[in-house]
Chain A
Amino acid sequence: DAKTTQPPSMDCAEGRAANLPCNHSTISGNEYVYWYRQIHSQGPQYIIHGLKNNETNEMASLIITEDRKSSTLILPHATLRDTAVYYCIVRGLNTGGFKTIFGAGTRLFVKA
């Protein structure tokens, strides 16, 4: 079962910031939070990840709460090309490797 909870869908106006929430209340100390997005029928694209500090790269910002039980992905100026399914994943060290468990994700619609 997925260890994250996300809203099934969200809308955002083009040019505005898109804030995508994720709940991961059972996250353990050595697990990272990853965000991927998947545009229709393509492979998931890595966006950003973090452990406990906020992170920013050229694509997005990741805000992780102090208790690490939730996070928010921020696309600062959403464009129509950001319309996609966004997956929040927690991933950590366990015996034999790093199993990645995807949930249903959030379908983001960016509207003109």
Chain B
Amino acid sequence: DAGVTQSPTHLIKTRGQQVTLRCSPKSGHDTVSWYQQALGQGPQFIFQYYEEEERQRGNFPDRFSGHQYPNYSSELNVNALLLGDSALYLCASSLEFGGQGRSAKNIQYFGAGTRLSVL
């Protein structure tokens, strides 16, 4: 059973460019969340997708956008890249309803991340 997979593993871009990161959730999971982790800090929540809609959003500008496909995979897009966007971008998947209704006890599983460097 494949876990959460992210691609690419590393990426180098220049300021002003646009980037797309991809995530395939763990088998059976329907919810994908994205996080940004700067060096030496804890992950910061960007947004969460469920049923192809953005359900929650953290304190990130509109340059950060996403998409979820019918097969539950997801993309994170960042436009007009800034040097400060350099970070590890993490994807986490979970089963939103857990088969017994919405519950906070649904575990999020993380991918290995995409390391983005903006030059």
User: For residue A94, which residue of chain B has the nearest CB?
Assistant: B56
Out of A42, A46, A92, A104, which one reaches B104, CB within 8 Å? Answer: A92
CB < 8 Å: which of A30, A41, A85 contacts B88? Answer: A41
Interchain nearest-CB distance for B5 vs A (Å) = 11
Residue of B nearest to A101 (CB): B45
Instruction: For B39, give the chain A residue with the smallest CB separation.
Output: A41
- B107 in contact (CB, < 8 A): yes
Give which listed residue, B42, B90, B105, B109, contacts A32 with CB less than 8 A. B105
Q: Is the CB of A45 within 8 A of B110?
A: yes
Instruction: Report how many residues on chain B are interfacial, defined by Cβ distance under 8 Å.
Output: 32
| Residue from B35, B41, B56, B110 in contact with A97 in the complex, judged by beta carbons closer than 8 Å | B56
Interface membership of chain A positions 75-88, coded 1 if the CB is closer than 8 angstroms to chain B and 0 otherwise: 00000000001010
Q: How far is the CA of A46 from the CA of B33 in the complex (A)?
A: 15
Q: Which residues of A contact B4 (CB under 8 A)?
A: 43
Is the CB–CB distance between B113 and A93 below 8 Å?
A: no
We find that the number of chain A residues with CB closer than 8 angstroms to chain B is 29
Contact of B107 with A102 in the complex, beta carbons under 8 Å: no
* Most A-side CB within 10 Å, residue of B33, B90, B104, B113: B104
A46 to B94 CA separation, bound complex (whole angstroms): 12
- When distances are taken between beta carbons in the complex, the residues of chain B under 8 Å from A102 are 35, 42-45
Select from chain A the residue with minimum beta-carbon distance to B109: A46
Q: What residues of chain A lie closer than 8 Å to B106, measured between beta carbons?
A: 98
Please report B residues at the A interface, Cβ cutoff 8 Å.
4, 31, 33, 35, 41-45, 48, 50, 55-56, 58, 88, 90, 92, 94, 96, 102-113, 115
Q: Could you list some 11 contacts between A and B, CB below 8 A?
A: A32-B105, A42-B112, A43-B90, A44-B43, A87-B42, A91-B104, A98-B48, A100-B45, A100-B92, A101-B45, A104-B41
8 further A-B pairs in the complex, CB-CB below 8 A; given A42-B112, A43-B110, A99-B48:
A34-B107, A41-B115, A46-B110, A98-B56, A100-B45, A102-B42, A102-B43, A103-B42
